[in-house]
Structure 1
Amino acid sequence: MNFEEDFENIKTMYNVKITGVGSYIPSTVIKNKDFLNHKFFTPSEVEYDSDQEEIIQKFKDITGIEERRYVDKSKTTSDIAAIAGQKAISHAGIDPETLDYIIVAHNYGDVKHETQQSDMVPNIGARVKSILKIKNPNCVAYDLIFGCPGWIQACIHAKSFINSGIAKRVLVIGAETLSRVVDPHDRDSMIYADGAGATILEATDDSSGILTHKSASHTYKESKYIFFNKSYSPDQHDERGYIKMHGRRIYNFALTEVPKAMKACFDESKEDINNLKRIFIHQANEKMDEAIIKGFFKLYDKKVPEGVMPMSISKLGNSSVATIPTLFNLYMNGDYGEPLQKGDIVMFASIGAGMNVNAITYRS
């Protein structure tokens, strides 16, 4: 038997399925009208001519966001990650001491209220494990920083560990408190939100679970499409860095690269595109997500099926790595109608800083 055959046998030795879901949605609601007293500036530190109501209405028309959630002053990324993780553990009905890995996807670590520095030592995974009071030293906790696609990439890590036989049960969390790293004088600050979503992935001997996955890192020209930089306000002179992005470049990149990655992932599964029931895509921008899905189905000469893409962005905003697991948790709780049934085919897909793109084809 050659290497390729051996590798295929290893890959199919175990299926890897989601057995538990959980999320933390902060209680503090920030509506669009709450930004009416903000002064927005261009990257050249010039105040926009449009009045605030016009800016906010255009923002809503493009992104679909009406409100977002922020954590309260006492909580950090590791806190809300642990809450979501505990809910996923409880939903799966497992003993947390039996976890082999805890993987926490985030990008900015613990940024405490009214501070300017991220705290990432010890890592967020270690903090989550400590908060959950897991004693087992063989449960390895680590972080994954991969932009908004971090939760999907962490699920791919989990699948690799389980397929290799070194793990049977993994807790994967996506958590972020973007409200702590936004520039209040940047229009894009209205996009971002806080939240956490978690999943338990386990080995299974049935036909459900992750069927295929694809990942790519486009860094030659695209690595600085999302970056850190000073405030756009000419009156703010501190050295603090804020999350920034080249929105139009990201939009054009996403419409080209994400549908291709999704198609490559789905085609490898050998499933019929007509059987694809739902797509859980990163909640980045409503218009962009709609265009991505339209581009994906166009590659199959199909129109977008009605209801194929549930969306949470209008009420929850963009919480980066947390958007997909949070949306999936809400969906499985019945917030979007009937939850998935046994055998349903779905996809997860994301794009984010790096620029990174990934997708998973999954049978429920």
Structure 2
Amino acid sequence: MWRSVITGTGSYIPTEVKTNQDFTSHNFYTDQNEPIGVCPNVVVEKFQKITGIAERRYVASHLTTSDIATLAAEEAIRNSGIDPETLDMIIVAHNFGNVIEGTIQSDAVPALASRVKHNLKIKSPNCVAYDILFGCPGWVQGMIQADAFFKAGMAKKALVIGAETLSRVIDMYDRDSMIFSDGAGASVVEYQQVPEDGSGILASCARSHSVEEAYYINMNKSYMPNGDPRVRYIKMKGRKVYEYAIKLVPEAMKECLDLCGVDIKDVKKVFIHQANEKMDEGMIQALFKLYGRRDIPEDIMPMSIHYLGNSSVATVPTLYDIVRKGQDEKHELNDGDIILFASVGAGMNINAICYRV
């Protein structure tokens, strides 16, 4: 039996820590450009209770998204032990390209994957490098695509990266700006012959809802009164996103498990997009409810949002790398464990992968 197996992982955790206290001097406005009417301290306190975020990481001024994608990729390649010249594909998931410090302009030509390939000094023209724009679920979708290419006989080895520098596209006058952060996670995936109970991707699924949901997360002008309407920042309809995710992400996760005949009781860990602690907890509760269960294992969901924030496409691969390498004292993985990767984000898009370690 042939399966897509993760043979190496890596991540880059930015060095600059931004605590919630740093936001208490901000003046926050509504989407109608009116003062929120609550002092920043109260806004920040309420924010932490809802999201669970106490601090987040921003990249240093000299780094770009493709730079940190390269750093995560180098670690994943070292961890896997492969020769990078043997890679057939490099897939980089992001949403904003390279945004230079002090600007708000996206630079995605050439593709970030091409830049990563250049940085890694890979000469083989048979290593195809391309980007994927799929909102926060981008890294998971990149894994799904690599698996599809493997099954089609078009590749055997891929490098899948999720990287983002959201700190450069946030509106400091919008309280939602406190959610977002920077980071990069990478994985080397190889198509290998394994026994029936061996490692690899067991099933996957993806969904897109783009009617009324298409603009739940979008780019729009600053909330600052008299701000320049030509400059766009990441914006989110938080309540809409929450309601959408709570209802539809659990259904996608169950669909994925059903495709490979795995029961929820056999899932050891769920690596879910780190967007909002209450939302993530709600999605897990809803997933178990679909199985008629309320006894949710306390250790099923690793979390990094408390200290890393929401780094979009980087949250899932970064969290997996941390747990896989034993860097989270509350969680561990063992050979044969069945896990779920799942994410939700702009589009609106949802996906999930069932994987045996």
* TM-score (normalised: structure 1): 0.95
Give the corresponding residue for 1:316. 308
Give the corresponding residue for 1:349. 342
Q: How far has the Cα of 1:220 moved from its partner?
A: 1.2
Give the corresponding residue for 1:251. 242
Indicate which of 282, 286, 298 corresponds to 1:295: 286
Write the letter of the residue equivalent to 1:20: G
Q: Deviations over 1:259-301 (max 9, x none)?
A: 1000011111112321110000000000000000000001111
Kept in 2: contact 1:14–1:162 (CA 8 A): no
Gaps of 5+ in 1: 1-12
Indicate which of 71, 85, 88 corresponds to 2:73: 85
SS at match of 1:158: helix
Indicate which of 147, 150, 156 corresponds to 1:159: 147
Q: Separation in 1 of the partners of 2:240 and 2:10?
A: 33
Correspondence 1:127-142 to 2 at 5 A: 127-142=115-130
Q: Deviations over 1:169-202 (max 9, x none)?
A: 1000000000000000000000000000000000
Q: Choose 234-243 or 247-256, whichever is displaced more.
A: 234-243
Over the aligned positions, Cα root-mean-square deviation in angstroms equals 0.9
Give the corresponding residue for 1:265. 256
1:60 is aligned to 2:51: no
Give the corresponding residue for 2:2. 14
Q: Separation in 1 of the partners of 2:62 and 2:91?
A: 23
Q: How far has the Cα of 1:238 moved from its partner?
A: 5.8
Q: Separation in 2 of the partners of 1:242 and 1:248?
A: 19
SS at match of 2:327: coil
Kept in 2: contact 1:147–1:356 (CA 8 A): yes
1:99 is aligned to 2:83: no
Q: How far has the Cα of 1:126 moved from its partner?
A: 0.2
Indicate which of 278, 299, 323 corresponds to 1:331: 323
* TM-score (normalised: structure 2): 0.97
Q: How far has the Cα of 1:208 moved from its partner?
A: 1.2
Write the letter of the residue equivalent to 1:359: A
Q: How far has the Cα of 1:73 moved from its partner?
A: 0.5
Q: How far has the Cα of 1:335 moved from its partner?
A: 2.0
SS at match of 1:147: coil
Give the corresponding residue for 2:270. 279
Kept in 2: contact 1:63–1:285 (CA 8 A): yes
Write the letter of the residue equivalent to 1:319: S
SS at match of 2:298: coil
Q: Choose 161-170 or 17-26, whichever is displaced more.
A: 161-170
Give the corresponding residue for 1:220. 211
Q: How far has the Cα of 1:225 moved from its partner?
A: 0.3
Kept in 2: contact 1:151–1:322 (CA 8 A): yes
Q: Separation in 2 of the partners of 1:238 and 1:43?
A: 13
Q: How far has the Cα of 1:216 moved from its partner?
A: 0.4
Q: How far has the Cα of 1:165 moved from its partner?
A: 1.4
Indicate which of 177, 180, 184 corresponds to 1:192: 180
Q: Deviations over 1:46-74 (max 9, x none)?
A: 01111111000000000000000000100
Same amino acid, percent of matched pairs: 55
Q: Separation in 2 of the partners of 1:137 and 1:357?
A: 32
Write the letter of the residue equivalent to 1:108: F
Q: Choose 263-272 or 221-230, whichever is displaced more.
A: 263-272
Q: Deviations over 1:21-70 (max 9, x none)?
A: 00000000000000111100000000111111100000000000000000
Give the corresponding residue for 1:169. 157
Q: Separation in 1 of the partners of 2:152 and 2:52?
A: 42
Write the letter of the residue equivalent to 1:253: Y
Write the letter of the residue equivalent to 2:309: G
Q: Separation in 2 of the partners of 1:32 and 1:307?
A: 26
SS at match of 1:45: coil
Indicate which of 27, 30, 42 corresponds to 2:18: 30
Indicate which of 49, 62, 70 corresponds to 1:74: 62
Q: Separation in 2 of the partners of 1:239 and 1:61?
A: 34
Q: Deviations over 1:213-268 (max 9, x none)?
A: 01000001100000000100004226210000100001001111001000011111
SS at match of 1:257: helix
